[in-house]
Amino acid sequence: MRIETRFAWILAFCFCLGVTVAGLISWRLETAHARDDVHQRAKMLLGAGLAVRSYTVANVAPVLDKIDDGSFHPAQVPSFAAQQTLKLLSASFPEYRYRESSLNPTNIADRATDWEVGLLRQFDQDPGLHELFGRTRVGGHEVYYLARPIRMTSAACLRCHGDPASAPRAMLAKYGSSNGFGWHMGQLVGLQLAEVPTAPAEAKAWSSVLVTVGALTSVFVLSAVVFLLLLHRHVTNPLDALTRAALASSLDQGGCERLPAIEGQFGQLQEAIERLRQSVDLAMKRRSRGA
């Protein structure tokens, strides 16, 4: 096997090993980064829901409360404000979803689905549990979800969720008195749920891995080609010429093949062979003269 071929195989083996290790490391880093990215997005969405809730409690409810026109303004309801605002956001980001659901909801549309009931149960069983996250499928797409419990921590909420008798009449007229009441302080009353798509972050992670592997491959192929060409030009080519010359000389085919001057170590080897050939010639002549 020629030296170039041998080197090419060794380099290819090292490359495959190197690229596999680098690809794996890059894949691990990028997928961890993608996971972190979707988690941060889900956190942002939940944070936005919380912010709207707080804004409504602090700025909208006190103003609307003062309007005593006998009607009920859902805009003063923190849950309504958060869900409606983030629904508007979903118009631009359809795969992002924010929801507040409960086992005993005021608005039937907020009734917890079977899957959400499972999350609520976990929060109920472990009062120290502050969030749950993971992946699930919604409408054929994989989404990342982040859920946080809503516990009754403010007595102000009980005005509308405690005893129906003390709830605003207009609210009862709109929502009825059979759902969303009887909640008490400290109780787990619902959950905040944010869903964000995983596909874009994963696609980004894969393309980064491909860029890393692609860049490594290009650098390697280029370096290997340059290396093999240099090896051919400076090592195997002179070596071939020397071998041919040494062979011709040993067979005495008209003396040593005249080689172009070779520089460096091969040049020294060439000189050594030439000297050796001359010594052998001399010795042979002396011997034939003596005979």
Site residues, ligand HEC (CB under 6 A): 57, 74, 76-80, 83, 100, 102, 105-107, 110, 150, 152, 154, 156-157, 159-161, 171, 175, 180, 189-190
Shortest reach from residue 218's CB to ligand HEC, in Å: 55
Tokens of 228: 């093999």
Residue 154 contacts residue 110 (beta carbons within 8 Å): no
Residue closer to ligand HEC by CB (options 177, 207) is 177
Shortest Cβ 170–ligand HEC spacing (Å): 10
Q: Which residue has the tokens 């689905």?
A: 113
> Shortest CA distance to 145 belongs to which of 134, 137, 154, 155?
134
With respect to ligand HEC, which residue has the nearer C-beta, 49 or 238? Answer: 49
C-beta of 80 vs 96, nearer to ligand HEC? 80
CB of 91 to ligand HEC, least distance (A): 18
Tokens of 278: 């001359």
The answer to whether 150 and 191 have CB atoms below 8 angstroms apart is yes
Report how far residue 133's alpha carbon sits from residue 135's, in angstroms, rounded to the nearest whole number: 7
Q: How far is the CB of 169 from ligand HEC (least distance, A)?
A: 12
For residue 104, give the amino acid letter: N
Nearest residue (CB) to ligand HEC, 24 versus 170: 170
Phi-psi region of 142 (alpha: psi -120 to 50; beta: other; left: phi over 0): beta
CB of 161 to ligand HEC, least distance (A): 6
Taking the complex as a whole, the smallest distance from the CB of residue 174 to ligand HEC amounts, in Å, to 7
Angstrom distance (rounded) from CA 46 to CA 110: 16
What b/e readout covers 92-122, taking b as 16+ CB neighbours within 10 angstroms? eeeebbbbbbbebbbbeebebeeebeebbee
Which of residues 105 and 197 has its CB atom nearest to ligand HEC in the complex? 105
Q: Which is nearer to ligand HEC, 180 or 238 (CB)?
A: 180
